Copies of this chain bind each other. A is one copy, B any other.
Amino acid sequence: MKQHNFSAGPCILPESVFKEASQAVLDLNKTGLSVLEISHRSKGFVEIMEKARSLALEHLKLDANEYAILFLQGGASYQFLMAAYNLLESKAAYLDTGTWSAKAIKEAKLLGEVEVLASSKDQNYNYIPKYYTVPSNLDYFHCTSNNTIFGTQIKDFPKSDIPVVCDMSSDIFSREIDFSYFDVIYAGAQKNMGPAGATMVAVKKESLGKVTRAIPSMLSYQSMIDKDSMFNTPPVFSVYVSMLTLSWLKEQGGVAAIEKKNQEKANLIYSEIDRNPLFEGFAAKEDRSMMNATFTLKNEDLKSKFDQYTKEARINGINGHRSVGGYRASMYNALPLKSVQVLVDVMKELERKA
């Protein structure tokens, strides 16, 4: 019997994707070969990679002439370094909205100066700073669209005359944004796109070639673009499952349709957090993430009872990150509304029996 999986990532993927991937591990499209044993240079895999790229462009409504889609390894943590390597000539602007922003800032500082425009660290990152201006004379502006750990999300991006780089690991493909606002978007696959081990990067081609340093091959967006993400062996299976998940998203009606469902799930859980006298939300209401709802029990004595109820309901992965404590319900694209309803029912049950 399946669990209701609220894990923050790696996380739930569509059931149909699990089934198709499981079959492909035995035999990919009746080729007599497992997807794990095909050459990345084979026609079969080249088609998978191209389909993944074209689906990503389609979902992001980006123009293939302007943007390249890459599927790389190393996760967002690697992009903290790679983005700076490719774009940071002297000084860049960063918005500090949480643990991952702070790590991105740390790596960028190895390569140039960083101006932190604003930070919500003073309130343990429970809100998104708003009253700041992006300078027009820096190399780029970097932000994190959704803060998985703290459950906050940028709703309106600031006006910027300089290139914008965004870590969208935990909310890519979950809501409609004008993605052409960004010059570089990167996202670890393991939330809305696929399993761990692949990282999608969308790069506006004209933003490259402006730094003077020598860039190591494995850190160069241009090298990766020139080789269609096959500078070296790509993470074949993770790209394959990402392609399946992006196909599933298209069948669901795309980003606009999934955003409606995500909004419905978020409304359901946040309404209960606000209504139920036993709980309180962590993030500032106006900045609440549609992906990760963070909340705590007002009375910690109820913790063991609540944990027991959630376990009985086969709810998985709702422990909060150690930086916040309490609970976190991650509601990525593939999580059904029904799972959120089960969690809400357990919250109500606790209220009745407490």
Contacts and interface: CB of A to CB of B under 8 A. Distances in A.
A36 B217 CA distance: 30
Most buried by B among A21, A26, A218: A218
A106 interface: yes
Contact of A236 (B2, B13, B33, B197): B197
A135 interface: no
A147 interface: no
Given A12-B37, A214-B110, A235 B238 contact: yes
A78 B234 CA distance: 12
A281 interface: no
A219 B26 contact: no
A76 interface: yes
A190 B233 contact: yes
A289 interface: no
Contacts of A314: 32
Interface stretch (A3-11, A201-209, A298-306): A3-11
Number of copies: 2
A25 interface: yes
Interface string A106-120: 110010000000000
Interface in A302-319: 314, 316-317
Contact of A23 (B1, B3, B22): B22
A336 interface: no
A137 B34 CA distance: 48
Given A32-B2, A34-B18, A197-B237, A39 B81 contact: no
A188 B233 contact: yes
A338 interface: no
Nearest to A75: B232
A148 to B, nearest CB: 11
Contact of A36 (B21, B31, B39, B317): B21
Contacts of A32: 1-3, 314, 316
A81 B216 contact: yes
A23 B26 CA distance: 10
A316 to B, nearest CB: 7
A37 B11 contact: yes
A8 B31 CA distance: 18
A74 B218 contact: yes
Nearest to A84: B216
Interface string A46-81: 000000000000000000000000000111111011
A214 B108 CA distance: 12
B107 A217 contact: yes
B25 A37 contact: no
B197 A40 contact: no
A241 interface: yes
A190 B316 CA distance: 32
Interface string A211-232: 0001011110000000000011
Contact of A25 (B25, B38, B78, B214): B25
B195 A36 contact: yes
8 contacts: A21-B25, A22-B25, A76-B232, A81-B216, A110-B214, A196-B236, A196-B237, A197-B198
